């Protein structure tokens, strides 16, 4: 973590101006979710979210926070 950076506010939401996420492509979203839940990761999404048309380049995913609190979007 950079020494001169500020901690991400714990109440940051996806519609805030400062929101940022990193997209990670996983081989099997179901397996990834099971491992995250087993490790007690901080899930942002209650579960996998499906998108009807794939207009964003993927048809679903899950958001989770990394150990530093940054949001990561997992997509298959």
- pLDDT, one tens digit per residue, over 4-62 is 767 767 777 767 777 677 899 999 999 999 999 999 988 888 888 887 777 777 778 89
Whole-structure pTM value: 0.72
Total count of domains within the chain: 1
What pLDDT does 5 receive? 67
Residue 52 within a domain: yes
What pLDDT does 69 receive? 78
What's the Cα-to-Cα distance from 1 to each of 6, 27, 33, 47, 56, rounded to whole Å?
A: 10, 28, 25, 28, 30
Residue 18 within a domain: no
State the average pLDDT over residues 69-73: 84
Residue 63 within a domain: yes
Cβ atoms of 22 and 28 within 8 Å: the answer is no
Residue 51 within a domain: yes
Residue 28 within a domain: no
């Amino acid at each position: 973590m950079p020494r001169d950076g500020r901690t991400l506010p714990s109440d940051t939401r996806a519609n805030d101006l400062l929101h940022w996420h990193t997209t990670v492509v996983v081989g099997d979203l179901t397996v990834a979710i099971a491992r995250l839940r087993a490790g007690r990761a901080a899930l942002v999404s209650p579960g996998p979210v499906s998108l009807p048309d794939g207009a964003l380049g993927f048809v679903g995913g899950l958001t989770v926070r990394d150990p530093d609190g940054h949001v990561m979007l997992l997509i298959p």
